[in-house]
Structure 1
Amino acid sequence: MTHTPLLRLTGVRRTYGERTVLHPLDLTLRPGESVALMGPNGSGKSTLLRIAVGRDRPSEGAVAFDGNPLHEDDPRVRARIAVVAEGPSFYPDLTVRQHLQLVAVAHGAGTGAAALVDQALDHTRLTGQAALRPSALSSGQAQQLLLAASLVRPRDLLVLDEPEQRLDPEARTRLTAHIRSEQLRGVAVLFATHHTELALGAADRVLVLADGRLVAEGPPQDVLHEAGP
């Protein structure tokens, strides 16, 4: 793992009017590193993720990606960040396979798109649903389709917002293995979760937020042990 941060947030703060939803905090993420964000609903996890990928701007502070200011409208940045988040937007008239092929081609897969799609379908156990439209999928399968879409495109940073939602225990185990395999490829991973086992199995560091403040940070075994049951 390189020591040069891929993503750096410095003094990031977010307010809406007079309400502070994220108090100043720093975060660094290096290639091949996995960091989990934990905390109750409304603690600021999703806000922090949106700022980290340029979908929201901090009221104060700075965000740098690979040493440069982060701007979501920069196509060079968009091409390197894959996001798996709530509120999926699938193409309703396309099948699962066609949706993934479109994503792959849009990100430059070319003649290799079909192979990438087959691998993603197999990895997410969606091969049997490849001919279905997304509307016919269960909620857990729709979550897997979001993950599959991240697999068919280049990525240096993978960001996931509560990816364990609607997944059964077997799928959560595969998710843990997937995050670790991404790290081995040198991909940096930042994810928000409520699931202790996922944080323990897939994160190198855990950041705990409460009321928009960073209240704990460190190795998952240390942080989650201190938090207690």
Structure 2
Amino acid sequence: MVLRTHGLVVGHDRSPACGPVDVALERGDVLSVVGDNGAGKSTLLRTVLGLLEPVGGRVEVLGRAVDEREAWFRAAVASVLDTEAFIPGVTAREHLLLVARGHATPGPEGVVDDLLDRFGILDAGSRYPASLSSGQRRRLLLAAAFARPRELMVLDEPEQRLDGDMRRALATMIRDEQARGTAVLLATHDPVLLREVGAPVLVVGDRCVVVHAQDAADRLAGDRG
């Protein structure tokens, strides 16, 4: 089992935001997470990553209690949150190379060039991240998560600042991860991404339930309308 939560209640300062959540992701499983603003999507993902303490229950990755300080956890889990973190003083391509080499990715140069191309930032590879647009920086953050080995990928609203074509391309990459046996947990507000990924959807709030991707996408599209 890659990810399991047992009666997990998440929140801040011991004040619950959502839960309990009971999920089990095996290799190749994908679970999308949706909910209203403030319902606890990001809080759930941060708790899974060990960045927040659970209010109640527990979370396990690869059968162990989560501890983001441990080398085994950092080696197994790739994540993209709503914060930007780039290695200072290096170009976009050099940043990805350092990530890939630091995680012993086979053939790092080929992997990095392919990712720069797939994310549409190949021409920006020689530039420093600070000089990139917000959309280009978002693509670079996502590329870094794909540049390293991973057994679990956690993505918080990865569609942010991506155009429609890139969102569909990202959905294809997530399905490719599924085929490779990576477990993926992603929070999103985007009905297109939900439909394209096609995975079960956990709706968080006062009551947490799992629904079909199409049903969740229709609800999100209706809310936007």
Contact 1:217–1:223 (8 Å) recurs in 2: no
Which residue does the alignment assign to 2:37?
A: 41
**Shift of residue 203 of structure 1?**
3.7
Which residue does the alignment assign to 1:10?
A: 6
**Shift of residue 224 of structure 1?**
4.3
Distance (whole Å) between structure 1 residues aligned to residue 161 and residue 219 of structure 2: 28
* Cα offsets for 1:17-48 (capped at 9, x unmatched): 46322332212112111111101211100010
Which residue does the alignment assign to 2:170?
A: 175
**Shift of residue 102 of structure 1?**
0.9
Which residue of 78, 99, 102 maps to 2:98? 102
1:221 to 2:214 alignment: yes
| Residue identity matched to 1:121 | L
TM superposition score normalised by structure 2: 0.92
Which residue does the alignment assign to 1:51?
A: 47
Distance (whole Å) between structure 2 residues aligned to residue 49 and residue 31 of structure 1: 18
Which residue of 61, 64, 67 maps to 1:65? 61
**Shift of residue 76 of structure 1?**
0.8
Q: Summarize the Cα distance change of 1:57–1:199 in structure 2 as closer, same or farther, 3 Å threshold.
A: same
Q: Summarize the Cα distance change of 1:228–1:88 in structure 2 as closer, same or farther, 3 Å threshold.
A: closer
Which residue does the alignment assign to 1:32?
A: 28
Q: Which runs of 5+ in 1 are unaligned?
A: none
Contact 1:216–1:223 (8 Å) recurs in 2: no
Report the RMSD for the aligned CA atoms in angstroms: 1.8
Query: Could you say what secondary structure the match of 2:99 adopts?
Result: helix
Instruction: Within 5 Å, give how 1:108-119 maps onto structure 2.
Output: 108-109=104-105, 112-119=107-114
Which residue of 122, 134, 148 maps to 1:139? 134
Distance (whole Å) between structure 2 residues aligned to residue 178 and residue 214 of structure 1: 31
Instruction: Within 5 Å, give how 1:115-130 maps onto structure 2.
Output: 115-130=110-125
Distance (whole Å) between structure 2 residues aligned to residue 30 and residue 183 of structure 1: 10
Q: Summarize the Cα distance change of 1:221–1:75 in structure 2 as closer, same or farther, 3 Å threshold.
A: same
The farther-off stretch of 156-165 and 69-78 is 69-78
Percent identity for Structure 1 against Structure 2: 39
Q: Summarize the Cα distance change of 1:17–1:151 in structure 2 as closer, same or farther, 3 Å threshold.
A: closer
Distance (whole Å) between structure 1 residues aligned to residue 161 and residue 76 of structure 2: 27
| Residue identity matched to 2:51 | R
Q: Summarize the Cα distance change of 1:18–1:57 in structure 2 as closer, same or farther, 3 Å threshold.
A: closer
Q: Summarize the Cα distance change of 1:226–1:42 in structure 2 as closer, same or farther, 3 Å threshold.
A: closer
Q: Summarize the Cα distance change of 1:59–1:183 in structure 2 as closer, same or farther, 3 Å threshold.
A: same
TM superposition score normalised by structure 1: 0.90
Q: Summarize the Cα distance change of 1:215–1:23 in structure 2 as closer, same or farther, 3 Å threshold.
A: closer
| Residue identity matched to 1:136 | S
**Shift of residue 215 of structure 1?**
3.9
Query: Could you say what secondary structure the match of 1:153 adopts?
Result: coil
Q: Summarize the Cα distance change of 1:35–1:157 in structure 2 as closer, same or farther, 3 Å threshold.
A: same
Distance (whole Å) between structure 2 residues aligned to residue 53 and residue 18 of structure 1: 17
User: How many equivalent residue pairs?
Assistant: 222
| Residue identity matched to 1:81 | V
Contact 2:31–2:200 (8 Å) recurs in 1: yes
